[in-house]
A = this chain, B = another copy of it.
C-alpha cells in the first residue's frame, strides 16, 4: 500500500469514473466529502451493533469487516470492506441493525451525514447512480459469499476468497498483478469461511503445497502463483465483480 495519492478524493473519483462520466462539479463534491476524515485503530468498532446512526462512510484506507455474533458465541464475518468501499447507509434505515463493522487494520473513513447523501443524490444523477451501483455490487458480493459457503469445500472457499480479494484490490490499485497485502489472521479467515482455525491452517498448507499460492505469515504478503489454475480449481468467475459490465444503455434506462 505504498502508493502515493495526492488527495483522498482520487480513489473514489477513479472508482466512479470507471462507469460514469463525472462532471467538474461532481468531482468537487467528492473532494469536499473527503476533506475531513476519521481514524480508527485496529480492532476498533466503526459501527456498533444496534447503533442508530443515519450516515454513510467512505472507506479511505485500511481493511474492515462486517460481522455478526451468534448466540453460542461464534462470529460470522459477512463481508470485507476495502479502500474505496461505501458502507453504513443501510444501517441508517433500521433502528436496530444487528451487525457491526470493525477495523481490521488502522482505518481512515469519511463520514457523510444522511441529509448530505439525500442532497447529493437530488442534485446529481451521476452520484446517485454511483451509490445505487455500489449497493448493487455489494449485494453481488454477498450473493457470491452465500454460494461459497453453501456449495464449496474448504479448499475452494479459500481459493475463491483469495481471488475475490485480489480482484477487488486491483480495482482500487491496491494490489499487484498477482500479489497483495493480506492483513488477515487465520481466525478471521475461519470466521469468514465457516471453517475452524485448524482447518484453515491445513487448507492454506495444501494451497501452498499445490503451488497455488505463496504466503509469508510474517510480512502478510500473499502471492497467487497461478490464477488460471486456482480459478479453475475453486470455481471462481469474476463476472460478479465486473464494473465494466455496466453498459451505457442500462445507465440511461436507470436514470430515465
Contact = CB atoms under 8 A, between A and B. Distances in A.
Interface of A: 52, 54, 66, 68, 70-72, 74-76, 78, 89-90, 92-99, 113-115, 117-119, 122, 132-133, 135-136, 138-140, 142-143, 145-147, 149-152, 191-194, 235, 237, 239-240, 242, 245-247, 249-250, 253-256
B151 A150 contact: no
Contacts of A118: 253-256
A92 B256 contact: no
The secondary structure that dominates the A interface is helix
B150 A95 contact: no
Nearest to A251: B93
Nearest to A94: B245
A256 B68 CA distance: 30
Contacts of A66: 143
Nearest to A50: B239
Contacts of A95: 242, 245-247, 250
Contacts of A68: 143, 147
Contact of A249 (B54, B122, B242): B54
A149 B152 contact: no
B147 A76 contact: yes
